[in-house]
A = this chain, B = another copy of it.
């Protein structure tokens, strides 16, 4: 039984304190028959012939932020990595690195968020691990989640599949997550209602794949924002891109906050948005499917894939000029996810 208020080194020692933490806190929030077996690994039925494995570490600071916390982020992040491969997320594992002295009430709240997010997404957390490091050797809690999903037959989505002439779509406004985090981190003296957009995107993706089965590329623009994600796709597919700045959705308050913080919204992180690339003739149908889903109401066609061996992403600006959209031109945003 947990009768302490903070993590101490015994919680990582492999003894009874760790066993109690697992049974009292982790199993309570994340429990399912597979996790409850208490084995070193989780035996699961294969969810399909083609599987997707994806892993993601989470070190966001602060741990609690407007619109979410590290727990919900760690579940959504891994679900989204699976969804970006066109996969249905099925199982998840979670590894925790806890800092000595971290309040157990905060851990309880975080793991509670994870359980809620996993249940909402229909994903089971089937295996986990807990390690504890001395005070000053960590930062509260780091969470590494790994997801296993199944790819339906006929779906072949990859960053390498963009082709000249394809349309580039974006599911909604950019920069919300990055600004929500920074608004709590710095003493910036601005009041804002901006919330992280953290969301599980697999439902949106399922609706999109049903409407347009030959979607070429899906990618969630997280760390590094839209600019990094588009450059990654351009490099993997050996293509260029031309974006239309006026078509890229952004909330006015996010735009204003970015201005204030000296950030480029194109480099600012998102946790509930996706980029989709598909044959131009199907872009209208895909846009309609996206706008019909609650997480794609503000979707837009934002550009076109071009032939360009130099794999440059360009943007036609709202003022009529053009500029190169590079990976990261503004300030670095550490620990955004």
Contacts and interface: CB of A to CB of B under 8 A. Distances in A.
A158 interface: yes
Interface residues of A, number: 84
B43 A269 contact: no
Interface stretch (A106-114, A220-228, A285-293): A220-228
Contacts of A224: 13-15, 18
A146 B93 contact: yes
Interface string A307-337: 0000000000000000000011000111110
| Identical chains in the assembly | 2
Contact of A147 (B16, B41, B96, B236): B41
Given A223-B14, A224-B15, A39 B84 contact: yes
10 closest cross-chain pairs (CB), A and B = A14-B224, A14-B223, A41-B54, A15-B328, A144-B144, A55-B93, A146-B146, A95-B144, A57-B95, A40-B81
Interface of A: 9-10, 12-16, 18-19, 37-46, 48-59, 80-82, 84-85, 87, 91, 93-97, 126-134, 136-139, 142, 144, 146-149, 151, 158-160, 219-220, 222-225, 228, 232, 236, 267, 269, 327-328, 332-336
